[in-house]
Amino acid sequence: MYWRSWDLNLKVRLFGELITHTFFWMYFPFMALYFSDVFGKDVAGLLLMVPPLLGIVANLAGGYLADRIGRRKTMLIAIFSSSVMFALFAFSSSPWMTYVAFIGIGMAGSMYWPASSAMVADLTTEDERRVVFATFYTAMNIGVVAGPVLGSIFFVHYRFELLLACTIVEFVYGVLLFFLIRETLPSLIGKAEASPPKRFSLKEQFRSYAVIFTDKPFAIYILAGILVAIAFMQLDLYMALYVKEHVPSQPLVWWGDWSFSIGGTSAFGWLMGLNGLLVVLFTLPVTRWFQHWSDRNSLILSSVLYGFGLFLMAFANNIWLLFGCMFVLTLGELIRTPVVQSFISKYAPEDARGQYMGASSLQFSIGRFIAPLAIGLSEWLSPLGVFSIILGISLLSALLYVYMFRLIPEGGGIERTSGYRG
């Protein structure tokens, strides 16, 4: 499916999310440094634990609203809220007001993504869904690669102008969404404007998610995803520490008497740069190569690649061997990401797709909280010991995927309202 033939909703959002995500990464990587400077490292560390917690709440609320008032309305609420928070951020003269705005931007983003993902699923068939999700993932990662580079200039030297530009970009994107996209929630198609908005009920929201988490295959899917997230997030955590402490300065390239050397922190930067470059260049090709693989085999293989890609680092302090390890675990990332989103869109009932998307994000949020424990373990264990635990967690997630798919009859759907076919 070529993007030119996509529904207008998808085209508008692809380019809109590419631009807004790039602006997001122009400021986000520098916020920890900013808060450390104004509040001190100890206070900043505590303050930065709050946004992910509130993000979980906003994510679940976004999924609930996407299934109640519609994908379009939920996305509009999130985008215009984000624009207001960016304006507050830009004109704030108080570090605490800046912190409030930072939290608000994060919550608005968390509310937006379940509705966005559900809309992609509404507008695509099972055959084309992986490629579409992979295209959106590529666009996001272009922002991840370009944003910090631009932000190192604009956030440091032109912060107000950058934040004002973010405000305007978010607002313009919201206006485009308002005028150019239509509602895709199946129960509201053709009557979105005529139907009165449904009241938000916190009690009903809790009841809806309670029903979701009694869905045994889905609960196992979340648990397996948490384990994978714990492993993958070591790229920014234990892997960074390992490379800094155990990878000495060494020539990356050389010619005669000339050489270019990296090591420690600079080596980590090169490894993360390679990860970002591989994601941008190979997300779509890898998605097409594995398009005919089942969800089961793709998820199992990705868990194994994650685990062994990290585990093999315990035996390598040569930068080129580490590049090879990074290639292995990035391949796991590229196989997994579009499958995760397409799996949920197939598995979830149409009238609860947004909530399933929101609940699915818990695997990343919970994994993000647990992952830093690996750094604590490094005080007691050797690198081989820590990487062995990470490998064990990854292989356990693969076993959970095996068990989960045994609960979902292959090719025949399951006894529930979902239309999933293995």
pLDDT of residue 203 exceeding 80, the answer is no
Question: Which long-range contacts does 77-81 make (Cβ < 8 Å, 24+ apart)?
Answer: 77/111, 78/108, 78/109, 78/111, 78/112, 78/115, 79/108, 79/112, 79/170, 79/173, 79/174, 79/177, 80/170, 80/171, 80/174, 81/107, 81/108, 81/111
Backbone angles phi, psi at 259, to 5 degrees: -150, 155
- Residues 301-330, mean pLDDT to the nearest whole number: 92
**Residue type at 282?**
F
Please answer whether residues 386 and 206 qualify as being in contact, where contact means their C-beta atoms are separated by less than 8 angstroms: no
Asked which of 129-133, 158-162, 414-418 is least confident by mean pLDDT, the reply is 414-418
Query: Can you name the residues that pair with 123 across neighbouring β-strands?
Result: none
In this prediction the pTM is 0.73
pLDDT of residue 19 exceeding 90, the answer is yes
Measure the CA–CA gap between 276 and 243, rounded to whole angstroms.
17
* Residue 19 exposed, middle or buried by CB count within 10 Å (0-12, 13-18, 19+): middle
Give the pLDDT score at 189. 61
pLDDT of residue 291 exceeding 80, the answer is yes
154-188 confidence digits (pLDDT tens): 887 889 999 999 999 999 999 999 999 999 887 66
89-110 confidence digits (pLDDT tens): 999 889 999 999 999 999 999 8
216-271 confidence digits (pLDDT tens): 888 899 999 999 999 988 887 788 788 888 888 777 777 877 778 777 777 877 88
47-67 confidence digits (pLDDT tens): 877 887 888 888 888 888 988
Give the pLDDT score at 412. 35
* Residue 150 exposed, middle or buried by CB count within 10 Å (0-12, 13-18, 19+): middle
Backbone angles phi, psi at 260, to 5 degrees: -115, 115
Measure the CA–CA gap between 78 and 360, rounded to whole angstroms.
19
* Residue 40 exposed, middle or buried by CB count within 10 Å (0-12, 13-18, 19+): exposed
Measure the CA–CA gap between 310 and 325, rounded to whole angstroms.
7
Please answer whether residues 240 and 232 qualify as being in contact, where contact means their C-beta atoms are separated by less than 8 angstroms: no
Mean pLDDT of the chain: 83
Single out the residue of 7, 362, 34, 330 nearest to residue 218, CA to CA: 362
Measure the CA–CA gap between 361 and 368, rounded to whole angstroms.
11
Return the C-alpha torsion angle 289, 402, 212, 337, nearest 10.
-20
pLDDT of residue 210 exceeding 70, the answer is no
Please answer whether residues 94 and 192 qualify as being in contact, where contact means their C-beta atoms are separated by less than 8 angstroms: no
Q: Which three-class secondary structure state does DSSP give residue 261?
A: strand
Measure the CA–CA gap between 6 and 12, rounded to whole angstroms.
10
Give the pLDDT score at 97. 94
Give the pLDDT score at 99. 94
Measure the CA–CA gap between 318 and 308, rounded to whole angstroms.
17
Instruction: Give the tokens for residue 335.
Output: 């196989």
Give the pLDDT score at 204. 55
Distances (CA, A) of 265 to 35, 241, 243, 244, 245: 22, 9, 7, 5, 9
Measure the CA–CA gap between 159 and 205, rounded to whole angstroms.
39
Q: How does residue 415 score in pLDDT terms, banded at 50, 70 and 90?
A: very low
Q: String of b and e for 257-291 (b: at least 16 CB within 10 Å)?
A: eeeeebbeebbbebbbeebbebbbebbbebbeebe
Instruction: Give the tokens for residue 169.
Output: 């970009």
In this structure, the number of other CB atoms found within 10 A of the CB of residue 296 comes to 18
Residues in contact with 13: Cβ distance below 8 Å, sequence separation at least 6, in sequence order? 116, 119, 136, 177, 181
Give the pLDDT score at 190. 55
347-366 confidence digits (pLDDT tens): 878 777 777 877 887 788 78
Single out the residue of 40, 170, 35, 150 nearest to residue 103, CA to CA: 35
More confident position, 378 or 111: 111
